Chain A
């Protein structure tokens, strides 16, 4: 493979942008076209984030960027049936499902679907033309492309993704599942952009899945914007189960209006290099955000959770809880930031990060950070790194439970605090199951998978048994 330095990737991307400007910005409104230009300028100024930046000091992209990636501006012809390519492994999970393949919305050629209740689900690119008003009002209004180079890159280059619009007073009965899969014959870099708009008093359960179905390297840079109007309610799940060679940058920007309620739950079971960024702006008074996360990492995997909660209005509450178990050479980063602005009185914010290290080679960096400018607040944070509770262990062992079983039980209990908060029963059971398997050392995706991408020498061509994936 040809070695390409980080600088070259950057230059190549900028070149690619200018060369394909016609296609990339084909459906842009003047405002969006302007934002793209600003974003590419920001990207050429900032480049890719490096470890000299405070928020990236423990997440080093340079190794990942040493590889070469292909990036194409047009969707590659995919005559595949997405449903055959990817099968959701949650049994009995009744969802409305949409798929994004290699960064392009796929739904058998139908780009925008209006459901019976008035909800619109479809391709973002199609929505640019079909719903210009909504796009003008919300697109690129919440995500700050200046925050780092990757965000700028996405803003400049992203062409498609999922667009969801839930009109006022509509309650979506079925959970909506957004699956992003990569099936490329080469190592690719993909920019994906999602926009989710929830009208007043509406309610949506959204499951965002990131999966790999092949063993190619991929670099996915996703930016998702979520707008929650007054009293809207969003249940958001992020399930990440990628191959060990994938890089996933996932930034979610939530904007909450008055009395809106957000529950975001990120479960990272497998993935080579994951960085989740969640930014929640509590813009309306009385809004509430729950940001939860669970990560179970091993081998050389790296997980980075960056959480920023901006209390911009009074009487809001937020709750952050992240838990992780790290084994082998895995490394984890937690960077929480609660900002309470001057007038955000009567804020109640909580932040917690708990970690268990199973191996001596695993590393965890945690930084729960509070920045407070209002006085009538209750803010607390906590972080622990350690092992299982010795007293609890003693209690179990004194009742005749073997060390191994007791250890498993306690680790499971550790993870259960997050898993139990999943409100969809089938999903909860499945995650529960995966966590158990994971803790027993039966690695979730890779060990079940027939591809054995970690053991390269064994790669032989054979028919894939779809039922096992």
Chain B
């Protein structure tokens, strides 16, 4: 018998978070709270050079003078920054050179997450840097990559091995006083990934970072720095999960991308932090600053994101189009359910001539959630003949949720063209009727429509991720819907 569409939508909200397990690994943690001593402690733990400590302290002092932004369409109890552990790392016994030496508990964790840490998964051809809590635990494939001259390692390693590159580029795209959360991250970041693609090199494999928050009461503050030198190409993927906990955990990350002349960087994210339970308890507060700069002419940066997790998402991957003829892209699917709140979008700042940008954002809200798109397209005086196209669609499943669109558009020259369109709708009875009439059950029809709706973005993902993303959509929304 045909089910009532209302029930199907209810069923959709039944699915559980499946990455909510906790791994008991011996941890090395700093005491709770934040002060200059904690920062010195982190810096010391990581054996950092003096300039980096200065950078952290400087950011911390700036952070003290800033106030938490309140403009986003988000509601949450105030965050107590003194109640967070700013450093938590799996206890490292010795340097690891092969997987056999990795803590079996840890391997098990990644097995559960389905991450190709193991050698046998070499076939999938993905180089992975896994960051658990605050520290990068294992980077695969680095030897292969090194032959090509590609540097791909944890951020801490990069500080030790390539201090010049780190010093030159860190903070150049997201300055330490860019915003409240960026300042916090700059002060306390513990690890992250670093990637440098040399001139003219096309990275043969997909690079991937997997972030996981494991320990309780910790915040995760990682930093990713990707540098595409002239004429290089890289596709970079990021995934994240966290255990189910009743309290909220803070995640404040920074991603910086620098694309020099003719370089292309593609950054894909599948964000699946723990979203909290059905009553809106627990979940990750995700405050992320992601920004790329197309520094050289003809460069290109592309962001693709599938956002299904987090109790709160505050994230605006941006591109500064500085080089002439550079291209910026942003593709996003954001799904919110239960009491999740997402305020996400993109900024495209056109500085160079003939620059182009595209924003495709698809929001899906269900339950009691609120899903907002907030974006900025700015054409400066110099950005002649530039072009932007933005499309922001929202789909509402259920009458208790909200979908909002805040596009800011500013143009200062006469030759640029900016187009923005947005629609908000629910799955219409007409569409369902059309499908039903052709023998497709309401259940399948909703699945079909949601998938079709998100398809434009999903097709931008690298194959390995597209599969995961589609599954995630299924978990987050579809329930019994195929």
Please tell me if B71 contacts chain A, counting CB pairs below 8 Å: yes
Cross-chain pair count, CB within 8 angstroms: 110
CA distance A429 to B117 in the complex (A): 74
CA distance A365 to B414 in the complex (A): 13
- For B411, give the chain A residue with the smallest CB separation: A385
Please tell me if A342 contacts chain B, counting CB pairs below 8 Å: yes
Please tell me if B278 contacts chain A, counting CB pairs below 8 Å: no
- Does A376 contact B426, Cβ atoms closer than 8 Å? yes
1/0 contact string of B379-423 vs chain A (CB within 8 Å): 101000000000000101111111111111111111111111111
Chain B nearest CB from A410 CB (Å) reads: 15
CA distance A376 to B397 in the complex (A): 9
Q: Which of A190-214 contact B (CB under 8 A)?
A: none
Please tell me if A91 contacts chain B, counting CB pairs below 8 Å: no
Please tell me if B120 contacts chain A, counting CB pairs below 8 Å: no
CA distance A122 to B394 in the complex (A): 48
- For B391, give the chain A residue with the smallest CB separation: A382
CA distance A199 to B9 in the complex (A): 44
Residue of B398, B412, B413, B414 with most chain A CB atoms under a 10 A cut-off: B414
CA distance A373 to B398 in the complex (A): 10
CA distance A367 to B373 in the complex (A): 12
Chain B nearest CB from A58 CB (Å) reads: 8
- Does A378 contact B411, Cβ atoms closer than 8 Å? no
1/0 contact string of A345-389 vs chain B (CB within 8 Å): 100000000010111101111111111111111111111111100
- Does A360 contact B407, Cβ atoms closer than 8 Å? no
In the complex, which residues of chain B have a beta carbon less than 8 angstroms from the beta carbon of A359? Answer: 414
Chain A nearest CB from B12 CB (Å) reads: 14
CA distance A364 to B416 in the complex (A): 12
In the complex, which residues of chain B have a beta carbon less than 8 angstroms from the beta carbon of A357? Answer: 411, 413-414
Please tell me if B168 contacts chain A, counting CB pairs below 8 Å: no
When the two chains form the complex, which single residue of A372, A382, A383 contacts B424, counting CB atoms closer than 8 Å? A372
Contacts known (A357-B413, A375-B399); A370 close to B425, Cβ less than 8 A:
no
- Does A372 contact B402, Cβ atoms closer than 8 Å? yes
Please tell me if A465 contacts chain B, counting CB pairs below 8 Å: no
Please tell me if A404 contacts chain B, counting CB pairs below 8 Å: no
- For A390, give the chain B residue with the smallest CB separation: B417
When the two chains form the complex, which single residue of A373, A382, A387 contacts B422, counting CB atoms closer than 8 Å? A382
- Does A372 contact B404, Cβ atoms closer than 8 Å? yes
Please tell me if A54 contacts chain B, counting CB pairs below 8 Å: yes
When the two chains form the complex, which single residue of B405, B417, B418 contacts A370, counting CB atoms closer than 8 Å? B405
In the complex, which residues of chain A have a beta carbon less than 8 angstroms from the beta carbon of B404? Answer: 369-372
CA distance A451 to B333 in the complex (A): 58
Chain B nearest CB from A97 CB (Å) reads: 40
Chain B nearest CB from A389 CB (Å) reads: 10
- Does B410 contact A365, Cβ atoms closer than 8 Å? yes
Q: Which of A121-151 contact B (CB under 8 A)?
A: none
Chain A nearest CB from B336 CB (Å) reads: 13
- Does B396 contact A372, Cβ atoms closer than 8 Å? yes
- For A383, give the chain B residue with the smallest CB separation: B420
When the two chains form the complex, which single residue of A342, A364, A384 contacts B410, counting CB atoms closer than 8 Å? A364
1/0 contact string of B4-29 vs chain A (CB within 8 Å): 00000000000000000000000000
Chain B nearest CB from A329 CB (Å) reads: 11
In the complex, which residues of chain B have a beta carbon less than 8 angstroms from the beta carbon of A355? Answer: 411
- Does B407 contact A367, Cβ atoms closer than 8 Å? yes
- For A366, give the chain B residue with the smallest CB separation: B409
- For B414, give the chain A residue with the smallest CB separation: A357
- Does A375 contact B397, Cβ atoms closer than 8 Å? yes
CA distance A357 to B381 in the complex (A): 12
In the complex, which residues of chain A have a beta carbon less than 8 angstroms from the beta carbon of B400? Answer: 342
Contacts known (A363-B410, A367-B406, A377-B396); A385 close to B424, Cβ less than 8 A:
no
- For B420, give the chain A residue with the smallest CB separation: A383
- Does A54 contact B422, Cβ atoms closer than 8 Å? no
Chain A nearest CB from B291 CB (Å) reads: 21
In the complex, which residues of chain B have a beta carbon less than 8 angstroms from the beta carbon of A380? Answer: 421-424
CA distance A310 to B252 in the complex (A): 36
CA distance A372 to B408 in the complex (A): 18
CA distance A327 to B433 in the complex (A): 50
Contacts known (A370-B404, A370-B422); A385 close to B417, Cβ less than 8 A:
yes
CA distance A375 to B371 in the complex (A): 13
Contacts known (A379-B424, A379-B425, A381-B421); A367 close to B416, Cβ less than 8 A:
no
- Does B396 contact A375, Cβ atoms closer than 8 Å? yes
- Does A368 contact B420, Cβ atoms closer than 8 Å? yes
CA distance A363 to B414 in the complex (A): 9
- For A356, give the chain B residue with the smallest CB separation: B414
Chain B nearest CB from A300 CB (Å) reads: 15
- For B366, give the chain A residue with the smallest CB separation: A375
CA distance A368 to B397 in the complex (A): 23
Chain B nearest CB from A319 CB (Å) reads: 15
When the two chains form the complex, which single residue of A360, A366, A371, A382 contacts B414, counting CB atoms closer than 8 Å? A360
In the complex, which residues of chain B have a beta carbon less than 8 angstroms from the beta carbon of A382? Answer: 419-422
- Does A383 contact B411, Cβ atoms closer than 8 Å? no
Chain A nearest CB from B7 CB (Å) reads: 16
Chain A nearest CB from B352 CB (Å) reads: 16
- Does A385 contact B407, Cβ atoms closer than 8 Å? no
Contacts known (A386-B416, A387-B415, A387-B417); A377 close to B424, Cβ less than 8 A:
yes
- Does B420 contact A374, Cβ atoms closer than 8 Å? no
- Does B407 contact A378, Cβ atoms closer than 8 Å? no
CA distance A453 to B413 in the complex (A): 29
1/0 contact string of A385-401 vs chain B (CB within 8 Å): 11100000000000000
Contacts known (A368-B407, A371-B402); A386 close to B417, Cβ less than 8 A:
yes
1/0 contact string of A428-464 vs chain B (CB within 8 Å): 0000000000000000000000000000000000000
1/0 contact string of A14-41 vs chain B (CB within 8 Å): 0000000000000000000000000000
- Does B394 contact A381, Cβ atoms closer than 8 Å? no
- Does B414 contact A358, Cβ atoms closer than 8 Å? yes
Chain A nearest CB from B287 CB (Å) reads: 20
In the complex, which residues of chain B have a beta carbon less than 8 angstroms from the beta carbon of A384? Answer: 417-420
Can you report 7 A-B residue pairs in the complex whose CB atoms are below 8 A from each other? A360-B381, A360-B415, A375-B399, A377-B425, A377-B426, A381-B405, A386-B416
Residues of B at under 8 Å CB distance from A?
71, 379, 381, 394, 396-426
Assuming A357-B414, A375-B401, what are 16 further A-B pairs, CB within 8 angstroms?
A355-B411, A360-B412, A363-B411, A365-B408, A367-B408, A369-B405, A369-B406, A370-B404, A371-B402, A372-B394, A373-B402, A378-B425, A380-B421, A381-B421, A383-B418, A386-B416
Residues of A at under 8 Å CB distance from B?
54, 342, 345, 355, 357-360, 362-387
- The 8 A-B pairs with the shortest beta carbon distances in the complex, nearest first, are A386-B417, A375-B396, A379-B424, A357-B414, A380-B423, A385-B418, A383-B420, A370-B405
